[in-house]
A and B are shown apart, each in its own frame.
Chain A
Amino acid sequence: MSRILIIDDSSFQRGMVRRIVQESGYETIEASNGKDGLAMIDSEDIDCILLDLVMPEMTGVEVLEQLQAQHCSVPVIVVSADIQESTHDICRQLGALSIINKPVKKNELNTVLTEALGDKAEVSDVT
């Protein structure tokens, strides 16, 4: 089963995303800020990261910068309320595979997760 790391400071948003991801047959782990998220990426086996942008302590953009510097190969999907094209451009330049806007739509999230996970997505199909 693929393992998805959700990094978001909002417990409400983590709950909404967790529900969708788990219903789609994936396992989730969570971090409430960028620093804890980076620590989990180092220590845990993770197949995909769902990353918020505006967070206290360490922003999502800073997390992307760190991951790029570390040549991290785990795919990152940015999940943000920020709809600015300029922000989306920055995220893409820093290696984000996809960017989806909040509120998260189930179909949209599942589509980008399937793309991000590739072959790993097939083993996680649970109906």
Chain B
Amino acid sequence: MLLNIEQQKQLRQLLNAGAKVAGESLKTMLDSNVSLSIPVISAASSPTDNTLGLEKALADIGMLYFSGDISGRAFLLILQDKADEMTTLLTGEAPDDAQFHETKKAMVSEVANIIVNGIIGSMSNQLQKNIDFSPPHFSSESPEVVYQQQGISAEELALLANIEFNVEEHNLEGKIIVVFDHQSFKSLMDAVDELSLEMI
């Protein structure tokens, strides 16, 4: 692992605070209680993704790049049938409506935008950094393919934070994955260390 125990703890706390912001946003959008897992942080070398059975299944994915003092990519992954349900819930459109797929793409992209901004923006505020975000991109792939396409591999060791969300009332679930680029590790860890010193 690239981080010492204290750094892992600080980073998890930062991500957890961000996840709470993202959870509040989801709660507002869906008008339902949302439960979120504690972020799991790992060095991302060829991540496998078994917890939601997502590794082979097709998922609807919203992805954003972030850059600046800290850089990386973040994904919102929702199994396709769950994304359909979420689209209907938020827009009232049915899957057989002519524009449904376009509506779903826009919905997944925007929900990813809001959630990722919540997580990373919260970290940025706490660390007093500046981060720029790309517009969200949509794809329908298996997460395995996305990992490969995005170069999350053993060669490009990155830090991966994995957060799961569940909306019990509507039987919705999904996953948020944040990949911090190897190049931004140093600035991220310096900022985390600074924050730790301020808290002493």
Given contacts A10-B113, A11-B106, A12-B91, contact A84 B118 (CB under 8 A): no
Select which of A10, A54, A85, A103 is within 8 A of B25 by beta carbon: A103
Most buried by A among B91, B106, B122, B134: B106
Given contacts A15-B91, A103-B25, contact A82 B106 (CB under 8 A): no
Q: Report Cα–Cα, A64/B130, bound state, in Å.
A: 19
Q: Report Cα–Cα, A84/B121, bound state, in Å.
A: 5
B102 at the A interface (CB under 8 A): yes
| A positions within 8 Å CB-CB of B | 9-13, 15-16, 54-56, 80-87, 102-103, 105
A84 pairs with B131, CB closer than 8 A = yes
The closest CB in chain B to the CB of A53 belongs to B133
B103 pairs with A12, CB closer than 8 A = yes
B195 at the A interface (CB under 8 A): no
The closest CB in chain A to the CB of B105 belongs to A12
Select which of B28, B107, B130, B131 is within 8 A of A12 by beta carbon: B107
Q: Report Cα–Cα, A91/B90, bound state, in Å.
A: 29
B131 pairs with A10, CB closer than 8 A = no
B114 pairs with A102, CB closer than 8 A = yes
Q: Report Cα–Cα, A16/B91, bound state, in Å.
A: 8
B122 partner residues in chain A, CB cutoff 8 A: 83
Q: Report Cα–Cα, A43/B126, bound state, in Å.
A: 42
The closest CB in chain A to the CB of B125 belongs to A85
Q: List 19 A-B contacts (CB under 8 A).
A: A9-B135, A10-B109, A11-B102, A12-B90, A12-B103, A12-B107, A54-B135, A80-B117, A83-B117, A83-B118, A83-B121, A83-B122, A84-B121, A84-B130, A87-B130, A102-B25, A102-B114, A102-B117, A105-B28
B29 at the A interface (CB under 8 A): yes
B193 at the A interface (CB under 8 A): no
Interface size class of B (residues with CB under 8 A): 20 to 34
B109 partner residues in chain A, CB cutoff 8 A: 10, 12
New contact pairs (19) apart from A84-B131, A103-B25, A103-B114, CB-CB < 8 Å? A10-B110, A11-B103, A11-B106, A12-B90, A12-B91, A13-B106, A16-B90, A54-B134, A54-B135, A80-B117, A81-B133, A82-B117, A82-B133, A83-B21, A83-B118, A83-B122, A86-B124, A102-B114, A105-B28
A54 pairs with B114, CB closer than 8 A = no
A81 pairs with B117, CB closer than 8 A = yes
Q: In the assembled complex, how far is the CB of residue A6 from the closest CB belonging to chain B, in whole angstroms?
A: 14
A11 partner residues in chain B, CB cutoff 8 A: 102-103, 106
Q: Report Cα–Cα, A83/B106, bound state, in Å.
A: 21
Given contacts A83-B118, A84-B121, contact A103 B28 (CB under 8 A): yes
